[in-house]
């Protein structure tokens, strides 16, 4: 699995995950939408830690800089 998530993209995803965690912790959003948002936040955090995004792979996107040989 090649990495396709760059540094700025990782930072943005982590910030989004933290904001979502706060929204859920403060119970600003509850019910089904809270569960959906929680799953989305977990996916954002996981893809930032792994460095791979399946949706990027489907659409051919890559924010990770290429390594020069």
Orientation angle between helical segments 7-25 and 32-50, nearest 10 degrees = 150
**Would you place residue 2 in the very low, low, confident or very high pLDDT band (cuts 50, 70, 90)?**
confident
Note the pLDDT of residue 16: 97
Task: For residue range 9-57, list pLDDT tens digits in order.
Answer: 999 999 999 999 999 999 999 999 999 999 999 999 999 999 999 999 9
Is the model more confident about 47 or about 65?
Answer: 47
**Is the separation of the CB atoms in 13 and 47 below 8 Å?**
yes
């Amino acid at each position: 699995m090649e990495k396709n998530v760059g540094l700025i993209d990782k930072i943005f995803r982590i910030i989004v995950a933290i904001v979502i965690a706060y929204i859920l912790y403060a119970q600003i959003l509850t019910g089904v939408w809270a569960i959906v948002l929680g799953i989305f936040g977990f996916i954002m955090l996981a893809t930032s830690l792994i460095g791979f995004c399946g949706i990027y792979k489907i659409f051919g996107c890559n924010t990770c800089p290429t390594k020069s040989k």
